[in-house]
A and B are shown apart, each in its own frame.
Chain A
Amino acid sequence: MNFKKLTTNIALMAVLLLLFSACDIQDSLELTPHDGVSNEEAIESVDDMERVTQGNYALIINESGGVFAWHYPRQYHEMIEMPGDNVTLPGTTIDPLFEMYTYASTSDQPHISNIWNISYKVIYGANTIIRADENGDIQPETPAEEDRLDQVIGENYFLRALMHFNLANAYAPPYTHGENNPAVPYIDIPGEQVEQPERNTVGEVYDRVIEDLERSSELMNEPKSNAYASSEVADALLSRVYLYMEENEKAIEYADRVIDSGRYNLVESSEYPDYFHQPPENNPETIFAYKHTSEQDREFSAIGSMYFTSEGGTGWGEMFPSKEYRELLHEDDLRWEFIQEELDEDGEPIMHEGQPTFYMTKYAHQTEDEPLLSSPVVLRKAEMYLNRAEANAKLGNESQAIEDVNLIRSRAGLQGDQLYSTGDLGEHDTVLDVVLEERRLELAFESHRSIDVFRNHRTMERDYPGSHQQHGAVTIEPDDPRIVYPLPEREVDLNPNL
């Protein structure tokens, strides 16, 4: 046996084998991810649509961006609440809420682009589902499935409308300042087809929001829990949209629809202090909330973190209810329950940069273990009464307006001369003043205040202690350009049409 020859042959065969095996190995390059589904296969059934819709809700509460772990509910809240007069910042903070609080936001700040990015991502998610339906990609096979399809499409119209509406609130002046002011692009086509859209006007955005919400209200047929959209949720948002437009009859019509639907009840006075300390589905007054479970316990990045520090030390607790707000609350008012004064061992107020420390607890203690867990309320029945009251006040239906205000005040534990009548408006000049003050008291810290002031052409007066004093942010007129947030620098760079 010629050993040398044998080894040579074996070697050559081995090499050839290895080279040929390369052809088979090519298949090994076909690898797919384990934690997702390809875009092509993502939406092939009503079940898929429901799962992707679930993802759209998830995006609103989970998606983070920028350098800090911020999320949509918190940042949108800050954009609307910080410029208001219910809050005070005694010291300083490195959180961009400082820029919002002092009306000094610039286009490169993280919240400016983050809210924009998340909104349009949810809009993209909604559009893909709506488009799949329009294209007839999904054909329901049973009437029950057809109902489910309607419901899921309706929810996506709702989410698309909500995102656009909030975008307009942040990046455009109120509707009442002019329909033709530039707002934000209204996107209703899939992302691949979006090319450098121009800004729609405020009027256009509102028209499209109403269109979507009305369709959404018609399509939805399932009384889902208040963590999801349903027909009444769309109606409730319509009531707010029409109120902002001062289409007062419409605002009343939709508020009535929700109030008369029988699905919601104002919680009793005795339970009112606990309103915000329970999961949303346990609350009969909440129409829609961004539901957070233990998995979304944001701790230091929660909304509540700005307002509250737990006993264990979680939370920055640096933003207090303003002195002015505290003084507006009657001592018997149950809404004091949402404010907690911090005292030292001797019962003296703990001072922080010259101000007594008050924590605000609307975003705390959804569970006992998770002091900063909360499910921010988006829509609740009390707002429907206040929408109706404001619309009635503007229409001159004064007694109806007062009636709704008194309903809210009674629930807050006020009675007797703390209630109003058309003949007794307290220190207020007009019924509208009464309604707006009540709206301020009831919906404080719930992402309403700056919008409510400016859309009514009122001036933001912040004549109370706080670091805004040194930063030219005490009196802000409704026509001040600072009331509108700049568009994100990044987007303007990328899209010259903005």
Chain B
Amino acid sequence: MKTTLKHILSVLLFSSLVTLLPAEVAGQDLTITGTVISEMDEEPLPGVNVQVKGTNIGTSTDVNGEYEIQISDGLEGEVLVFSFIGYADHEEEIDGRETIDVALEADIGWMDEVVVTGYGERTERDLSASISTVSGEELEESVASRDVAEMLQGQVPGLQVTRSGGGTGTSAEIELRGRGSIGASSSPLFVVDGVIGTPRHVNPNDVESISVLKDADATAQYGARAANGVVLINTKSGQRGETRLNVNTGLGVSNKNTGNFSVLNAQELYGLQEQFRPEIQQEWAETDTDWQDHAFQTGLFQDYDVSISSGTERTRYYVSGGYHREQGHLDGDNFERITGRVNVSHDVMDNLEITTNFSARVEESDNNTFGAAYQAYTNLPWDDPYNEEGELRTGLESDWIGRDNNNFLYPRQYNYNESAWQSYTGNVRLDWTILPWLEFRTTNSATFHYSESESFSDARTPAGADDDGSMFRSEGLSRNLTSTNIIEGESTFDQIHTIGGLLGFEFESSRSTGVSASGIGAAPGLSVLNIMSEPDGVGGGVSESAFIGGFVQAYYDYDDRYSLNTSFRRDGSSVFGADNRFGNFYSIGASWMLSSESFLTDVEAIDILKLRASYGTTGNAAIGNYQAQGIYSYTQSYDGRPGGVPDRLGAQHLTWEVARTTNLGIDIALWNRVELDIDLYNRDNTDLLQSVPVEATTGFTSQMDNIGTVNNRGVEIALTTHNITGDFNWSTSVNFSRNRNEVTELFEGEAMNVGNQRIEEGEDLRTWYMRKWAGVDPETGDPLWEREILDAEGNVEDVELTSNRGEATRQKVGTATPDFTAGVRNTFHYRGFSLTGQINIVQGKDVYHSGRTLFDSDGGYINYNYMDIEEHGWSRWEEPWSEREEGRSPENAPDVDPDHTHPRPMVGGNSNAQETSSRFLEDGSYIRLQTARLSYDLPPAFIERIGAAGITLSVQGDNIWTSTDFSGMDPETGLGGTIGTQNPVPQRVLFNIALSL
């Protein structure tokens, strides 16, 4: 009893994270020592994990491959497991021995790497599910970023990651296996150390591995919210053995990369406008300002990380701190982040482990660009930012020509716009091995987010002048509590039958609150709400959600050859209607290890041949809170009194969106050199949660409903080849994904227009729907669009051209979904050198370049600058076709001008030619050399002399080269495919030193 109390006490002390208790353990009476070597070269293997099977008792080998492990009474008959990446697991019965030496056999490492799946860990060999993993090392070699999600770009087949800009605060958009949801979020679910989280909040240096769970079998345990896949991020933990200190310093510079895009200079703009603008003045062109020069700069990227990790017999820890700073290549765009993490696990008893992860991040961001990313392209070269005295102009001067009367440099002197975030996540997990075959696990977490944002407009600037200075501040606080409890058992009979299962329950509750206030009238130089002479507005809100789920899973494995996995779960979410909160989800998966069959074991070439199949359902509830409830909102007022405003009709029938996924996969490993995984999938997202447009005559313009089905089917191929092994080592990884998206069912079959896209049965979810541009009238220079003539049945009978945009017919003119995406990575190693290159390919995506409305408007906006169209082989209409050559007559003119792409320019634009049409829809395909990285590990002899364990120097380039026909700055757009004026993703060069002691 005394022992028990002590154990309970140590649990309590430990949870409080005050101290790392070196627990005293009673009853040790056997010490085993030994050496672990590699069978291949008989060299000692450091860092091999040595563990008593079925317990948490373990250690790891030192630099000489030696280990020492103490085991307690009653364990002499147990088995020691030796495991090391790249080698097959080796098991030895202790059988009372005190010395156990082992030689490990090399293995097709990837098959036995531990894959973190749902709530547990399995080896690839056992998996019937479709899972891709990315290791921490692979992340290191990818594009430099503070956002883990962004670093996954091009690395995982089926995962489309895209950045919608190069601002320091921009987050990557992510989709797995195509867009399945319309109104609800189509992003995969992110889970950090077992708790739903945000990738952006994790320091990439802390990441041990990332698992991307794709099919229903893989996501079963997150089934309720896994309709769009799950990405698991696992952070590092301490290992038994010596203390390791890692210091990582990265420094880099970034520069704008505007690709194929440029705007006109003063003379060029004058040359263009004098053709059609009667009021133009020659002296304007005497000023030639390059606004991009004023907007952009060489940015600085800094990253410093320190981590320390170690482990004793019973306690393992990993502690890290990081500082990250980005001075954007857009002046005034800055970002700073401090992260900290403490991951500790401790064996309270031989069968009870407690793990505590605590992480914190503090971020600050300045957004003091004041429209620079827009004005850099639209401001006129004719306007000088400075007056004759060299002072900045406001843009309001009567001789300022540019349309927006803005000079972003002016407010930057006095105004600011800042945001900051803090988040803290604490996570306590208990692993209790109740019986050798039975384990209970509980994971409980609390996350707190605090956000603040403040902006100030000084009385000296146009934005604050009328108010005599104004400021706005908002603060938000949210908390999220989760608890996951699982009881899991696994047992093997007759050495070939393994049967296992788990039963679990989870609960989540979220609440966020916010408050905002603004005031006007500020004493110069001061900016805090308290000094504002008049309150201007106040706001605030509260939002809550809750979620519960129960699940059960069972699996059976026969002789590592056949395995079967089934699961069922039932979940409830507060966002749905009272009678429809709960949904049921299930999955079944099976795999067959063909290469273990007797008829294939003799085939030398085949190391692994495995077939996988799975089917299952998963859910999606990612819509706003309270959507099922019709309400009158009291957020608006009239005459200073609040009024109840009908906000939505309510939909009590609103319920889960369900994805039904079939997955077939094959895993092949040949000649110990080639690894090939192919997956075929078919996923139907049914009962789509969608904000359905309704006739405004009902009083509402949209209503949330479960409507329709979207199908995604496709193929994913991941191929890794070890082309050359040995001293010089070359390996290649290629991944390829082709996804076909189709809306298969809509409510009453009725198509819906959403912005410039159309959701229609039989079509891609991101189908562009706009007036179809035909070109330029050869005789008049007017724009031409297609007009469909319909017969009595409504079928298209004929197509004619019209210069009247109102008469033009909207048509399906392309999709924003790529035909395929691919990533190619080559890695070369020679002695300490290593060179990695990552190429990303996106093919067949139509991008709507909406920015051209502004800077390619044929006179629509005379006081905006124009883009250079000649670079793209385009030209403007100048004279009638019939007058361009002798002997032509207007009657013989072709329908569409063969020589020119752009209409005759005129003040105010030519017949709305700059308004939305397929004219600005472009091929956004690209091939990009995303990253190249050269690193060098200093030779061990040198390292040892200075007492370090390793030093790696590296240099890396990001966004190095792009091939594309796209006329804009960057073909990499958000998933929606629309691109306006952009702060494009920069080019970066980075230097990095990693030191480990």
Contacts and interface: CB of A to CB of B under 8 A. Distances in A.
Interface of A: 1, 3-4, 7-8, 11, 14-15, 18-19, 22, 25-26, 28-40, 42, 48, 51-59, 61-63, 65, 91-92, 94, 98-99, 102, 104, 106-108, 113, 116-117, 120-121, 123-125, 127-128, 185, 187, 190-192, 194, 196-197, 225, 227-228, 291, 293-295, 309-314, 342, 344, 350, 353-354, 369-372, 467, 470-471, 486, 488, 490-491, 493-495
A371 B509 CA distance: 46
A344 to B, nearest CB: 6
A370 B503 CA distance: 63
B19 interface: no
B780 interface: no
Contacts of B542: 34-35
B908 A58 contact: no
Contacts of B573: 29
A11 B697 contact: no
Nearest to B914: A94
A116 B701 CA distance: 10
B806 A106 contact: yes
B462 A313 contact: yes
B435 to A, nearest CB: 7
Interface string B533-544: 010110001111
21 contacts: A3-B3, A11-B487, A28-B546, A34-B542, A35-B635, A38-B632, A52-B632, A58-B645, A65-B701, A91-B863, A120-B698, A125-B645, A125-B699, A191-B698, A197-B695, A294-B536, A311-B466, A312-B466, A313-B463, A314-B462, A491-B696
Given A29-B581, A91-B863, A313-B405, A39 B631 contact: yes
Given A1-B1, A14-B440, A491 B695 contact: yes
Contacts of B907: 91-92, 467, 470
Contacts of B465: 310-314
Contact of A197 (B463, B639, B697, B753): B697
A104 B466 contact: no
B95 to A, nearest CB: 23
A228 B639 CA distance: 9
Contacts of B545: 31
A354 B434 CA distance: 88
A371 to B, nearest CB: 5
B860 interface: yes
Interface in B874-919: 906-909, 911-912, 915-916
A205 to B, nearest CB: 13
B467 interface: yes
A237 B404 CA distance: 39
Nearest to B650: A39
A294 B467 CA distance: 11
Contacts of A486: 806
B1 A490 contact: no
A307 B993 CA distance: 60
B698 A295 contact: no
B633 A35 contact: yes
Contacts of A495: 695, 697
B635 to A, nearest CB: 5
Interface in B610-631: 625-626, 629-631
A369 B466 contact: yes
B914 to A, nearest CB: 9
B908 A36 contact: no
Which of A7, A294, A495 has the most chain B CB within a 10 Å cutoff?
A7
A335 to B, nearest CB: 26
B505 A354 contact: no
Interface in B838-874: 854, 859-863
B799 interface: no
B398 interface: yes
B434 A11 contact: yes
Interface of B is mostly: mixed
A36 B646 CA distance: 9
B525 interface: no
A36 B634 contact: yes
A96 to B, nearest CB: 10
A8 B700 contact: no
A36 B633 contact: yes
Nearest to B853: A94
Contact of A104 (B643, B700, B912): B912
A31 B578 CA distance: 10
Given A56-B645, A58-B637, A92-B862, 11 more contacts: A7-B434, A29-B574, A33-B633, A35-B635, A55-B644, A57-B643, A62-B636, A63-B645, A92-B907, A102-B908, A313-B396
A91 B629 contact: no
Given A293-B639, A354-B278, A369-B520, A32 B629 contact: yes
Nearest to A482: B806
B548 A194 contact: no
A418 to B, nearest CB: 34
B626 A8 contact: no
A192 B697 CA distance: 10
B649 interface: yes
A107 B646 CA distance: 26
A36 to B, nearest CB: 4
A192 B698 contact: yes
B945 interface: no
Nearest to B630: A39
B691 interface: no
B233 to A, nearest CB: 26
Contact of B861 (A92, A106, A493): A92
A33 B629 contact: yes
Contact of B695 (A1, A25, A295, A494): A494
B636 A19 contact: no
Contacts of B467: 312, 369
A116 B696 contact: yes
Contacts of A295: 537, 637, 640
Nearest to A59: B645
Given A94-B861, A104-B912, A494-B694, A123 B546 contact: no
B3 to A, nearest CB: 8
Contact of A124 (B352, B640, B646, B862): B646
Contact of A91 (B548, B650, B862): B862
A53 B643 contact: yes
Which of A36, A39, A309 has the most chain B CB within a 10 Å cutoff?
A36
A230 B907 CA distance: 48
A228 B640 CA distance: 13
Nearest to B694: A494
A58 B638 contact: yes
B697 A55 contact: no
A12 B643 CA distance: 54
B632 A54 contact: no
Interface string B631-675: 111111111111111110110000000000000000000000000
Contacts of A311: 465-466
A471 B487 CA distance: 75
Contacts of B640: 293, 295
A211 B911 CA distance: 43
A190 B699 CA distance: 8
Given A28-B509, A106-B806, A117 B862 contact: no
A25 B507 contact: yes
B970 interface: no
Given A54-B641, A54-B643, A92-B908, A124 B700 contact: yes
A342 B396 CA distance: 13
Given A311-B465, A350-B398, A491-B696, A42 B632 contact: yes
B643 A34 contact: no
Contacts of B544: 31
A37 B279 contact: no
B544 to A, nearest CB: 5
A36 B631 contact: yes
Contacts of B3: 3
Interface in B405-457: 405, 432, 434-435, 438, 440, 442
Contact of B649 (A39, A54, A59, A127): A39
